[in-house]
Amino acid sequence: MPISNLFPKEDKSVRKAKQQNLSNFLEQTFYKRLNKTKEAELVLLDDHVLQMFRIEGTGASSVGYEEQRLILSYFYTFLSKTNEHFTIETTKLPVTTVSQVAHLRRKLQKLSELKPSSEREILQLEIKKNMLRSKLEKQKTLENRLSNIEYLLYLYAETPKALREKCQQLVSLARSYRFNLSMLTPKEKEMVLFQLNNLNTKL
């Protein structure tokens, strides 16, 4: 059962059963749990903790050779400047269109609040609303069908407090070398864990 199927709107009993399947799955791996905190750290069997970051793209393929060389130089310097224990992995995760969907829904909400006074205005408003609804459906379809190549960074520490401090330092250091690290959401972390332990599964 792909973990990506855990979250759609569905009957409570079905969702509870799927969440139990996830708990059973985690128990059979090298992980204990995802902490129910803001950071949602992954607790390993030895009680060490792990955090997952996405290395944000820099668009290096669309710039000239000198800019590419500079980007690589910054990344190499970043790697040489940190003493933290981390691992980088390349994988695929579903495309997320959350921000686009939220923007379109806000626009649709604003249109719904309008009160046209003539038949022509009513017709024009309905046309605009239908166009937005169509765009919303396309965004949802994209999210279901497409995936992105992602570069993930795993950072380890002995305690959640130590991990938070290391995360802050690493994110700050990355920014100083012109690239960003963004923490994966709990749902994305579950997808990665499922993928790592079910290598034939397409997320």
Token output for 153: 């960074």
**pLDDT, mean of residues 72-98:** 74
pLDDT at 41: 92
pLDDT at site 165? 92
- Which one-letter amino acid corresponds to residue 98? V
Cβ–Cβ < 8 Å for 184, 192:
yes
What counts of helices (H) and strands (E) characterise the chain? 6, 6
Taking the C-alpha atoms of residue 1 and residue 115, their distance in angstroms, rounded to an integer, is 46
How does residue 146 score in pLDDT terms, banded at 50, 70 and 90?
A: low
Residue 170: other Cβ atoms inside 10 A: 19
In this prediction, residue 20 carries a pLDDT of 63
For residue 187, pLDDT over 70 is answered with yes
* Local confidence band at 163 (pLDDT 50, 70, 90 cut-offs): very high
Phi and psi angles of residue 191, each rounded to the nearest 5 degrees, phi first? -60, -45
User: Which H or E run includes 88?
Assistant: strand 86-94
Using the predicted structure, report yes or no on whether residue 9 has a pLDDT greater than 50: no
pLDDT at 162: 92
Cα–Cα distance for residue pair 174/151, rounded to 1 Å: 14
Cα–Cα distances (Å) from 103 to 11, 96, 100, 109, 197, in that order, read 28, 13, 5, 10, 35
What mean pLDDT comes out for the span 75-85?
A: 78
CA dist., res. 49 & res. 92, Å (int):
23
pLDDT at 135: 83
Q: What is the pLDDT of residues 100-114, one digit of tens each?
A: 778 888 888 888 888
Mean per-residue pLDDT, 93-101: 67
121-140 pLDDT, tens digit each: 888 888 888 888 888 887 77
